[in-house]
């Protein structure tokens, strides 16, 4: 059972984790939206139990399984995963603003 405190802490952790990773990747690779592109793949790896190679060798069954698992996600899981996406997007926005203001990172 997931309590409201656990949910809030999990959302905050996912937000901070993916904001930090996204900020560092954006700073090092100079691609402002890299984490926003990579995050959905990470979320799929978190959600799905199918091996990555099966998306190419047995794609029909793999994508069907992914769709079923996505439809069975609880609201708390969706909130946690979406807070990670929000952190990744905010990292891109912050990097864009900092570069616009003249900050040069690496």
Which residues make Cβ contacts (< 8 Å) with residue 39, sequence separation at least 6?
18, 22, 84, 85, 88
105 is a domain residue: no
Question: Structure pTM?
Answer: 0.84
61 is a domain residue: yes
Who has greater pLDDT, 29 or 5?
5
Structural domain count, the chain: 1
Query: By residue range, what is the domain housing residue 13?
Result: 4-97
pLDDT at 106 over 70: no
8 is a domain residue: yes
44 is a domain residue: yes
Please give the backbone phi and psi of residue 47, each rounded to the nearest 5 degrees, phi first: -80, -45
14 is a domain residue: yes
106 is a domain residue: no
Distances (CA, A) of 93 to 11, 18, 66, 75: 19, 13, 30, 26
Single out the residue of 48, 82, 39 nearest to residue 67, CA to CA. 48
83 is a domain residue: yes
pLDDT at 49 over 90: no
Mean pLDDT of 69-87: 95
pLDDT at 31 over 90: no
Least confident of 32-36, 46-50, 64-68: 32-36
pLDDT of residue 103: 84
């Amino acid at each position: 059972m997931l309590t409201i405190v656990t949910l809030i802490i999990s959302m905050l952790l996912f937000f901070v984790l993916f904001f930090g990773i996204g900020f560092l990747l954006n700073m090092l690779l100079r691609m402002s939206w890299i984490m926003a592109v990579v995050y959905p793949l990470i979320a799929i790896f978190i959600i799905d139990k199918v091996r990555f190679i099966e998306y190419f060798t047995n794609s029909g069954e793999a994508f069907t399984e992914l769709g079923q698992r996505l439809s069975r996600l609880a609201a708390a899981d969706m909130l946690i995963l979406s807070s990670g996406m929000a952190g990744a997007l905010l990292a891109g926005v912050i990097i864009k603003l900092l570069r616009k203001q003249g900050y040069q990172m690496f």
